[in-house]
Every structure is written in C-alpha cells, then in structure tokens.
Amino acid sequence: MKIHEYQAKVIFAKYGVPIPKGYPAFTVEEAEAAATKLVAETKSPVVVVKAQIHAGGRGKGGGVKVAKGGAAEAKELASKILGMQLVTHQTGPEGQKVRRLYIEQGLAMERELYLGAVVDRDRRRIAFMVSPEGGMDIEEVAANRPEKIMTVHVDPTVGLSPYQSRKLAFFLGLEKHGKETVAKFTKLMAAFYELIVKEDCSLCEINPLVVLKDGDVVALDGKVNTDDNAEFRHKEWDTLRDTDEEDPVELEAKQTGLNYVSLDGNVGCLVNGAGLAMATMDIIKHAGEKHGVAPANFLDVGGGATQEQVTKAFKMILSSPKVKAIFVNIFGGIMKCDVIANGVVAAAKELGLTVPLVVRLEGTNVELGRKILNESGLAIQAATTMVDGADKIVKAVVGGAK
C-alpha cells in the first residue's frame, strides 16, 4: 500500500526521524490556516505548498511551490495546485488529480542527499541506498552515474550496525559538516531502520534528505510503501488508505479475496495460480508484441475460488474499456474446471459478453468443464495449449480491430 507524504512523516516522527513542521490541508481555506499557523510557530514567512499524490516527480510537474510571502501567497498557490491534474513521469500522461495538500515550513538547506531502503528479496535483507546527489534527478544519477550511489545490506539477525551508518555518512561526505552531523545521521539511520522493520515497509525513501546550515539532518520528503502481506498486523492501515487514488477494481478484488492488478494492455486474463498467471501474461506479450496486443490485467482467482468469485472476476475484467478479448487459462488442481466453466458462463450471460473469449482448460473435471462451455450457447474458442490460446487471442484482437 502507498501512503501520502504527510502520512509518512507522521510515522517518521513516531520513530524519531527529524522532519520539518507541517500540516495537511484538504481545502484552500485549510491551507491558508496551516500557513498562518506555521508562520507564527517558525517566525518565518517561508512555507512550502506540496501536492499530495501517490507519485514522484511532483516538483518537476509543478506540484511543489515555495511561498515566501506567508499565508497570503500560500493561499494563492494552494488555489492553483488543489484540483489540478498533476502530470509526472510516474503518473503517465493522464496525470492524477490533486485532492490533498501538505503545508510545510521552509528550511535553510545546505545540501540535498538521497536515502532509500527496499527489501532485497534475493539476499533476504533490507538494502539501504544513499547518494550525495539527492533531489529531483535521482533517477538520472542511478542510470548514468551509479558510482554516486552506495548500497549497504543489513543482516536481520544483527540489525543495522553503527559502523554501517558511519560508512554511509562518510560516503555522503557528512564529516565535512562536523562530527555532530555524522552522529545525527547515525541516530536518524537507527530510527529509520526501526521504522522499516516495525511498520513492515517494502520501500521507504527520503528524497531529499537535507543537511541544514546548522548541521541538522532532516527528512524533507517521505515516501513509504507497506507490504500488503503484513496487513493483518496493522489494522491502522485502513485509516491511511486513499481510495480516491487506488484502482477501484483492485480494491474490489481485495475485498472479494482475489489477486488483481490493472495493466495497460487489451487482453483480459483469468487464471488460477500466480505463476501460471505470470506465464500467461508473458506468452500473450510474446505472441502479440508485433500487433500491439498485451495483457490488460493480472488476475489470479486462486486454488479455492467459488463460482461467485469467478463471476466477480469476470466482471472486473470487463469493467475495463481497454479489454478487446479475454483469455481464460485454467489448470485444475484444487480449482475444478467445471467451477471455472460455470462462472465464465454465468458472467458472460449476465454481462452480455461482446468481446472474443478463448478458454484453455486442463486438469480436474476438465471434460465436465468443456461440456459446460460447449453447451452454453456462447461463442467460445477452445484452446488446447497456452501457445494455442495465445495465438488465438492475438488473432481475435487483431481481427476485431479491423
């Protein structure tokens, strides 16, 4: 799950990661009130108005503005940013609508650095990455100047060691700012590591991490993604979810107990088993690459899905206007082929299916499943193998596009 910057900073503060003062705002009036409060608290007229969306690159897209004239200027900027369709390199050309703002104090910065952490699944450890060249162009640094990035892996049986934090500090050149700055960074790293472990983060990023003129080290930005597999340990996550920015179909799938991820292609996929689902997407992409045919979703109905869940899964696929054909690929083990067949038939009839449908069934009750499909009265193309099914679905999409 992704959360907004202002929510991430509440978590940062909980663990002792230094952050600037700031307040969320959902209206222009709230933004003005937050700016007024900050000016009074900090004795400075400089505040920053930040768009809150689940995407990076907000500054380049015009979603982060500095107001040097206090609350009046902050109000003017808030009125321009709130409600805008913010386009960044992570939103795609359609952008995301700004519904929330974060009003934050302005700081006198000396340097901008980068600090991030992810779960390295190959090594089964948390990997910390730092760069002395933080800010809006960190992707360019990673692509063209990888020597400017240092990575340290943390042994989970030992935890983050102080020497590892100092190693990162010296790579960043923090000793130039004095021993106190190195000590503050080491303390921040300890808090950051504790946060990542206890909050079950899959990604945690501070870009930029800034060194102030007084030598303090502060998280000027914050990005936190949590591991959905740990949701049972964190009931509070429901209060952090922004349903306006999450895919409504993915939310529905989660509530139904299905694994669904929206993609940008035009072939709906209904498959049982995550591995088979990924293989199905790969083979569709391979077969249709020259024709602009690609999967429109990842959908794993699992090994114990009911007919009702299969019917709902079909509805989810057809809710996307991008879908030009559907490929059902089922290997019946725990999941019986006749259950899938009944769900497909029920959903197709209820929704008035108008797009081509290719079905490949193998495994438990396969003959019964095929009989159900054959006697359904629907125009279903049977496939004998995955390759056969991919070829047929590509031809169906290409033929329908003519």
Per the DSSP assignment, residues forming a β-bridge with 226 are: 201
Tell me which residue has tokens 């900027």. Answer: 77
3-class secondary-structure state, position 203? strand
168 sits in which H/E element: helix 162-172
d(C-alpha 40, C-alpha 259), whole Å: 49
Catalytic residues: 114, 205
Cβ distance 47 to 106 under 8 Å? Answer: yes
Token reading at 387: 């390759």
* 122 class by beta-carbon count within 10 Å (0-12 exposed, 13-18 middle, 19+ buried): exposed
Cβ distance 95 to 62 under 8 Å? Answer: no
d(C-alpha 201, C-alpha 228), whole Å: 9
Cβ distance 257 to 47 under 8 Å? Answer: no
